[in-house]
Amino acid sequence: MNVVIIGTGYVGLTTGVTLAYLGNEVTCIDVDKDKISMLNRGITPIYEPGLENMMKAAKARLNFATKYSECIINSDIIFFAVGTPPNEDGSPNLRYLYNAYFEILNYLKRKEKLTVLVNKSTVPVGTADELDSIIKDYGITNTQIVSNPEFLRQGRAMADTLYPDRIVVGGNCEAVECLRNLYKPIIEQSFTKPEDIKPPKERAQDVLFLAVDRRSAELAKYTANAFLSMKISFINEIANVCDKVGADVAKVAEIIGSDPRIGKEFLNAGIGYGGSCFPKDTRALQYIANTKGYSFKLLSSVIEVNNDQRLIIISKLKNVLTNLQGKKIAVMGLTFKPGTDDFREAPSIPIVQQLIEEGAEVWAHDPIAIEKAQKFLPKTVMLSDSIENIFINAEAAILLTEWRFYRELSWNELGKLMKNKILIDGRNSLDSRSLKQLGFEYWGIGRK
Ligand SMILES: NC(=O)c1ccc[n+]([C@@H]2O[C@H](COP(=O)([O-])OP(=O)(O)OC[C@H]3O[C@@H](n4cnc5c(N)ncnc54)[C@H](O)[C@@H]3O)[C@@H](O)[C@H]2O)c1
Ligand SMILES: O=c1ccn([C@@H]2O[C@H](COP(=O)(O)OP(=O)(O)O[C@H]3O[C@H](CO)[C@@H](O)[C@H](O)[C@H]3O)[C@@H](O)[C@H]2O)c(=O)[nH]1
């Protein structure tokens, strides 16, 4: 099939490369000239394991462009994967999506064959209906809009796309069948498996294809993210209770998680969730409910708990150091989670800002994103490629992103560089027992 992807970010690029790999002719369009120029040179602008290799493998069927052009006329399916970032009030900004739709209207008018327009961007309930009526007002009748929410995780985007649990398509029959056909190799798992992209260990055998109405598909995306965020905020509150009563949150999570009704995923306590989706989508769902006169109390608490949780690490530091004025603090990990170079809503940003406000001298390290960090952190933060540098004379170290790199460090040697061997693990990721044996004063989140 002829596919056009509008918006070549995490979602658009992953989708475009995958669909080309599966045998479709794909054109990826983006207004960002630098991104397209990199892609045309075979370089991926984002860090996603397996993406670059798959892009190479699909090269013959993959085009990148900055201009909407004749490819729209020839397309069977057009995906919209532009950003929907939050406005000040939490509502999603739909400017990019509407702009993209307006850009293609003139081309659609010239088309004879049916075009399926696919909303992959996360959008409020009713957006597809609204776009549908705008298109009809322009006298265009040969299009059908479907909602096809995306559930990939950054850092695992390729595996999540090739080996998803489910594919959700909301829309009317003809368009839904067109997408079922497009996704057939994934639904049936009948493609050549790339060697460097492994399926998740516990994946169900069949990929569920869920054909629903558009509004349910649109709401399901927000619901999934809100529910996962709720699990994280819930376990974080349990961790805070653990700290008060002397229990271990990892043990509590293991016990409750072994009940399949609860499930063991997303029960890692820490400094809260970040990233481009959970903070944005929880606020968007809260906003959507509010606009309909419904106050979503549980979701408001999920958001509030997450905001407070980020700064818990500062209180823990102050408990051991009394005050932070003039003290060197080593910060490990800056991206919002391991496996990505993304800083959107990274907890490291408010934490580092607060450390600076408290007068600390902040030295920070990240295994892959130290250059990018300059754009997001205050200028006074000393960013270093060398883990040793940040530990020299440090009064304490804090871990904010659980990169494997930090678990594999030679802690004995690093401890010798520090002024005080104090370690606060904001992700409960380090081996507390061996660190204590090495003489570290170790504090986790909700760990005895
Ligand atoms: N990042 C994720 O993990 C993820 C997962 C699931 C769903 N989503 C949703 O998917 C959507 C896209 O997210 P993303 O992270 O890929 O965004 P992104 O910011 O990485 O990419 C969006 C791209 O769209 C481009 N763009 C904006 N306006 C355009 C236009 N008019 N024409 C062509 N290109 C245009 C931008 O230049 C940018 O490259 C969002 O709604 C997001 O909530 C994201
Ligand atoms: O037990 C956990 C699991 C995650 N997190 C944090 O939660 C955030 C989000 O993590 P993750 O879900 O792995 O990353 P994303 O790439 O943001 O993916 C989420 O957001 C995407 C965008 O909507 C969805 O498509 C995915 O299904 C959804 O998992 C990160 O800050 C993690 O550190 C925790 O604190 N504890």
Position in ligand 1 atom list of the atom nearest CA 84 = 41
2-212 and 311-443: same fold?
Answer: yes
Active site residue 242: no
Give me 120's structure tokens: 């992959």
Quick one: pLDDT at residue 47? Answer: 83
The fold adopted by the segment(s) 311-443 is Rossmann fold (3.40.50)
Q: What percent of the chain has pLDDT over 70?
A: 99
Quick one: pLDDT at residue 89? Answer: 95
- Domain 2-212 CATH assignment equals 3.40.50.720: yes
Beta bridge partners of 60: none
Quick one: pLDDT at residue 206? Answer: 79
Any idea which ligand is nearest the CA of 349? Answer: 2
pLDDT tens by residue, 240-278: 999 999 999 999 999 999 999 999 999 999 999 999 999
CA of 174 to the centre of ligand 2 (A): 33
Nearest-angstrom CA–CA distance, 428 and 446: 9
Mean pLDDT of 179-195: 96
Locate the domains of the chain by residue range: 2-212, 221-308, 311-443
pLDDT tens by residue, 35-89: 999 999 999 999 899 999 999 999 999 999 999 988 999 999 999 999 999 999 9
* 28, 30, 35, 80, best to mutate for ligand 1 pocket (most atoms within 8 Å of CB): 30
Q: Are the C-beta atoms of 36 and 30 separated by less than 8 Å? A: yes
Quick one: pLDDT at residue 128? Answer: 98
pLDDT band for 112, please (50, 70, 90 cuts). confident
Any idea which ligand is nearest the CA of 229? Answer: 2
Give me 414's structure tokens: 């690093």
In this prediction the ipTM stands at: 0.98
Establish whether residue 219 lines the binding site of ligand 1, counting it when its CB lies within 6 angstroms of any ligand atom. no
Position in ligand 1 atom list of the atom nearest CA 92 = 41
pLDDT tens by residue, 351-408: 999 999 999 999 999 999 999 999 999 999 999 999 999 999 999 999 999 999 999 9
Q: What is the pTM of this model?
A: 0.96
| Residue 203: pLDDT over 70 | no
Quick one: pLDDT at residue 130? Answer: 97
Strand order in the sheet with 166-170: 62-65, 25-29, 2-6, 77-80, 115-119, 143-147, 166-170, 208-212
Position in ligand 2 atom list of the atom nearest CA 231 = 1
| Residue 12: pLDDT over 80 | yes
The DSSP bridge pattern shows strands 382-383 and 361-365 to be parallel
Quote the CATH superfamily of domain 221-308: N-(1-d-carboxylethyl)-l-norvaline Dehydrogenase; domain 2 (1.10.1040.10)
